[in-house]
Amino acid sequence: MATKNIDFTNRLKLAIKKTGLKNPAFADKAEMGYSTLMNYLKRGAEGHVPEWDQLVKIAIAANCSIDWLLTGKEADLPEHTFVCTDERLFELCEEIMELFEEEDEEIIQAIKSRVQDIRKLAAKNRENRELKERIKRIEKYMEEILSAGPKPGTERAAATGKK
């Protein structure tokens, strides 16, 4: 069961503020109901500390540690510790970290070069998605125009070539 804790409430408010999100958007990002979040944010001794599963979601959404949320202090973590919820990304990061540990400058430069290539590809993909959305809007607009048909009195003017 959740326990009451003013300090947790204050740290949670600060963590949400640092994300730049409003409370409803943060609740969505942390995969919880808005009313649940508001229970954690209640003033005074009424604020509650969530259960572990929800603490993990809050920490991920706020990009902070559970230790900090609970105690205000960061845990002593190894230098290359990170939180990753995507297994594919986690495996890829582990492989890259192993290569970096070899400290071979040629390998490190090759990785950096590929990262730049991937960034360029991601930018192109974003541009392509934007273009596809524009095309869809234009097609929809054209369908609306064609389905409306000609305006009254314009058929005759079009046939005679007169306006």
Please report the pLDDT score of residue 155 as a whole number. Answer: 60
CA distance 90 to 156: 68
Count of structural domains, the chain: 2
Q: Does residue 161 form part of some domain?
A: no
What's the pLDDT band for 1 if we cut at 50, 70, 90? very low
Q: Which domain holds residue 140?
A: 87-148
CA-based nearest residue to 2, from 34, 32, 36, 30: 36
pTM value? 0.45
> What would you report as the CA-atom Rg of the chain, rounded to the nearest whole angstrom?
27
Specify the pairing of strand 3-4 against strand 48-49: antiparallel
Q: Which of 71, 104, 129 is the last residue of a domain?
A: 71
3-class DSSP state of 4: strand
Contact (Cβ atoms closer than 8 angstroms) between residue 88 and residue 44: no
59 and 13 inside one domain = yes
How confident is the model over 8-62, as pLDDT tens digits?
888 899 999 989 999 999 999 999 999 889 888 875 545 578 888 899 999 999 9
Q: Are residues 60 and 93 in the same domain?
A: no
